[in-house]
Structure 1
Amino acid sequence: MTSKIYQAVIDRPLGYQDSWGNVYPLNYGYIPNLIAGDGEAQDVYVLSRAVEQAVTHFEGRLAAVIHRRDDNEDKWVLTGADEEVSLAQITEATHFLEQYFDSWIEMI
Structure 2
Amino acid sequence: MSRLINVTIDRPIGYKNEQGTVYPINYGHVKNIIAGDGEEQDAYVISNTVNGPIESFEGVLIAIVKRHDDNETKWIISAPGETYTTEELSDKVHFIEQYFDTSIYLVD
| TM-score, normalising length: structure 2 | 0.97
Q: Name 1:46's counterpart in structure 2.
A: 45
What stretches of structure 1 of length at least 5 have no aligned partner? Answer: none
Q: Name 2:33's counterpart in structure 1.
A: 34
Q: Distance in 1 between matches of 2:54 and 2:88?
A: 20
Q: Name 1:106's counterpart in structure 2.
A: 105
Q: Name 1:21's counterpart in structure 2.
A: 20
1:83 paired with 2:82, answer yes
Tell me if the contact between 1:79 and 1:85 (Cα under 8 Å) persists in the aligned partners. Answer: no
Tell me if the contact between 1:6 and 1:62 (Cα under 8 Å) persists in the aligned partners. Answer: yes
Q: Once superposed, what is the RMSD of the aligned Cα atoms?
A: 0.6
| Aligned-pair identity (%) | 45
Cα deviations across residues 63-83 of structure 1 (Å, max 9, x unaligned)?
000000110000000000121
What stretches of structure 2 of length at least 5 have no aligned partner? Answer: none
1:7 paired with 2:2, answer no
**Helix, strand or coil for the counterpart of 1:81?**
coil
Cα deviations across residues 6-58 of structure 1 (Å, max 9, x unaligned)?
00100000111101011101000000111000000000000000011100000
Letter in 2 for 1:29: G
Q: Tell me which stretches of 4 or more aligned residues in structure 1 moved more than 4 Å.
A: none
Tell me if the contact between 1:17 and 1:24 (Cα under 8 Å) persists in the aligned partners. Answer: yes
Letter in 2 for 1:5: L
| TM-score, normalising length: structure 1 | 0.97
1:58 paired with 2:69, answer no
Q: Name 1:67's counterpart in structure 2.
A: 66
Q: How many residues align?
A: 107
Q: Distance in 2 between matches of 1:62 and 1:48?
A: 11
Q: Distance in 1 between matches of 2:64 and 2:56?
A: 19
**Helix, strand or coil for the counterpart of 1:23?**
coil
